[in-house]
Amino acid sequence: MSDDLKILIVASDPHIRETVRDLLRPKGFQVHIAADGTEALRCCEQDPLDLVLTTLTMPRMGGRELLSRVKERFPEVFVVLLTGDSATGLALREADHQGAFDGILKPFDQQGLFALIDRVAQQKRFWAKNIYPLGDRRKTYRFENIIGKTPQMLEIFHRIQDVASADIPVLITGESGTGKELVANAIHYTSSRKTGPYIKLNCASLSDGLIESELFGHEKGAFTTAIAQKKGRFELAHGGSLFLDEIGEMPLQMQAKLLRVLDDGNFERVGGTKTLHGDVRTICATNKDIDEEVKGKRIREDLFYRINAASIHLPPLRDRADDIVLLTNYFAYLYAQKNNRTVKGLSKASYRVLMAYSWPGNVRELSHVVEQAVVFCKAEKITPECLPEYIKKPSQPREFSLRLYSRSLPLAESTLIRKVLEETNWNLVQAAKELDIARGTLYSKMKKYRIEKPY
């Protein structure tokens, strides 16, 4: 159970320190003690820790300030509050806003304490697995980039580990912005194919005529613009993984061709006669209701069964609201570092605003909102004034009028898309949300109607 966890117990009462220490040491944990927050910070600097268990009321530096300092300087360290005062509920909610992992009441329930520490150990095990084995790529794809402490997310972490160890096709479902690509990355880079190529294709970003060439390649002269031979994504992914994003947008005719290739790995380039073979693991993703797409015959049933040997469903952010604060703190720290800002967190009022919003754009939308707030924040803490107006007043509908000079449906659609893009300052995530379409669908329609952001 210990996983060699290093735990620091922080309390001014020596009885509390010794009681908790005596509970933990027989379980194999490396336990340190400190009498207040100042001493605790020195311990953090001297020896890398995994978990800090701290009381709230202490001389020199209390538990709330210690929590804030630890999350600022040692974001990888988990902090759990030990409290038993009459304001327990309020204290824990406030601390959660600052990034505490959890809280536990005094006197301690031993089973509850061990269960909580076991959750920390599980999270640390996942976070310890670097998705890329070497080099700077570690900074980009790690389990740390899939953030969550809710039971739903811990179950997803387990499922990623399970499917990564098996060489089978995986289907990832969930609304736009829930992190499907991050999960696909994690599956590939923890699988036996991690040293092989990892090739991606967004099925919604290509026209019907181009997708076959992009997927399987073409020979020189296969069509007018084919001035040279080109390898397709399936061929490039030989020995590795192919991530097909927005698989629900693939035309039915192309679905039939893909199915034949997935059955035996054999294919021909467009305009070619030579049969090639690719050893490829497919990871597919869609934001659509897959069962409804199959019933509506927009996705072939036989292809669905072929790509769905294992499935992972990502819940929307509104269904794991307990992760909003954790994600917000993570993004605030990340973007403060990236943009050379001194922001050290959010005000309580800002957290209340974020928690009250429904996040139709999910984690991606939250990430964009926090980055914008960090950039425009002039103080150490982000206040509601730094947040977008539509976040603070989610109940107010955005209204605008369209003037159409033709009854042409394509013209009406392109005009609406351009208008929404202008209204959202060309924020593609927000525009797709207001248009109620997938982000990839918005990309393909912008390409279809040649809509480009003016410079």
Query: 31 with 110, same domain?
Result: yes
Considering the domain architecture, whether residues 290 and 328 belong to the same structural domain is answered as no
* Cα–chain center distance at 162: 19
Is residue 95 pLDDT above 90, yes or no?
Answer: no
Residue 126 has pLDDT above 50, yes or no: yes
The closest of 267, 272, 299 to 285, measured between CA atoms, is: 299
Choose one of 313, 331, 362: the last residue of a domain: 313
pLDDT in the model for residue 394: 54
Q: How far apart are CA 439 and CA 444, in angstroms?
A: 9
**More confident position, 323 or 99:** 323
String of DSSP letters for 365-381? HHHHHHHHHHHH--SSS
Structural domain includes residue 46: yes
165 assigned to some structural domain: yes
Token duo for residue 194: 């991690």
> 295 and 325 share a domain?
no
How far, in Å, CA of 282 to CA of 292, rounded?
Answer: 22
Instruction: State the pLDDT confidence band at 135, using cuts at 50, 70 and 90.
Output: very low
Domain end (from 283, 313, 343): 313
Q: Is the peptide bond before 107 cis (omega within 30 degrees of 0)?
A: yes
Model pTM? 0.63
Domain membership of residue 402 (yes or no) is no
Number of domain units in the chain: 4
- Nearest Cα residue to 103 out of 86, 121, 91, 87: 91
Average pLDDT over residues 308-319: 92
Using DSSP's 3-state secondary structure scheme, residue 331 falls into helix
Cα angle vertex 124, ends 120, 126, to 5°?
Answer: 120
Asked if 374 and 444 sit in the same domain, the reply is no
What average pLDDT does range 304-314 have in this prediction?
Answer: 94
- Report percent pLDDT > 90 for the chain: 36
Q: Which residue has the higher pLDDT, 140 or 199?
A: 199
pLDDT reading at 311 higher than 70: yes
- Please enumerate in sequence order all residues whose Cβ is within 8 A of that of 238, keeping only pairs 6 or more positions apart, or say none: 196, 197, 278, 279, 280
CB 6 within 8 A of CB 50: yes
Average pLDDT over the chain, rounded to an integer = 83
For 29, 79, 138, 186, 305, the CA distances from 98, given in Å and listed in that order, are 26, 10, 27, 28, 44
Q: Does 453 fall in a domain? A: no
3-class DSSP assignment, residue 209: helix
Lowest mean pLDDT among 32-36, 76-80, 313-317, 361-365: 76-80
Domain termination residue (choose one: 127, 161, 184): 127
Q: What is the tens place of the pLDDT at every residue in 391-427?
A: 887 554 455 556 665 567 777 888 888 888 877 778 8
Helix (H) or strand (E) holding 198: strand 198-202
Cβ-Cβ contacts under 8 Å for 381 (sequence gap 6 or more): 343, 344, 345, 346, 347, 350
* Mean pLDDT across 169-187: 93
Containing domain of residue 359, as a range?
Answer: 318-392
User: Does the residue 216 lie in any domain?
Assistant: yes
Indicate whether 294 pLDDT > 90.
yes
Q: What are phi and psi of 142, to 5 degrees?
A: -140, 165
Residue 90, pLDDT score: 47
Give the mean pLDDT of 270-298.
93
Task: Please indicate, yes or no, whether residues 27 and 109 belong to a single structural domain of this protein.
Answer: yes
pLDDT at 100 over 60: yes
CA pair distance 294, 438, nearest whole angstrom: 18
How far, in whole angstroms, is CA 18 from its chain's centroid? 40
CATH number at residue 361: 1.10.8.60
Do 152 and 294 lie in one domain? The reply is: yes
- Asked if the structure places residue 401 within a domain, the reply is no
Q: Phi first, then psi: give them for residue 110, nearest 5 degrees.
A: -60, -45
Q: What is the pLDDT of residues 69-92, one digit of tens each?
A: 887 677 678 888 887 654 444 445
Please state, in angstroms and rounded to a whole number, the distance separating the CA atoms of residues 424 and 391. Answer: 13
SS3 content of the chain, % helix, strand, coil (to 5): 50, 15, 35
pLDDT at 455 over 60: no
Q: Which residue has the higher pLDDT, 247 or 432?
A: 247
The C-alpha atoms of residue 145 and residue 451 are separated, in whole angstroms, by: 32
- Let me know if residue 228 belongs to a domain: yes
pLDDT band at residue 234, thresholds of 50, 70 and 90?
Answer: very high
pLDDT exceeds cutoff 60 at 443:
yes
Residues 197, 191: Cα–Cα separation, whole Å: 12
Residue of 400 and 105 predicted with greater confidence: 105
Helices 439-448 and 409-423, interaxial angle, to 10°? 120
On whether both 162 and 278 belong to a single domain, the answer is yes
Percent of the chain surpassing pLDDT 70: 86
Q: Are residues 81 and 120 in the same domain?
A: yes
Residues 259 and 178 in one domain: yes
The verdict on 280 and 153 lying in the same domain is: yes
Element at 413 (helix H, strand E): helix 409-423
> Are residues 306 and 183 part of one domain?
yes
Mean pLDDT of 130-137: 33
On whether both 26 and 89 belong to a single domain, the answer is yes
Q: How does 123-149 read in b/e, with b if 16+ C-beta sit within 10 Å?
A: bbebbebbbeeeeeeeeebbbbbbbbb
Q: Show the tokens assigned to 415.
A: 């005009």
> pLDDT band at 156, cuts 50/70/90?
confident
pLDDT tier for residue 131 given thresholds of 50, 70 and 90: very low
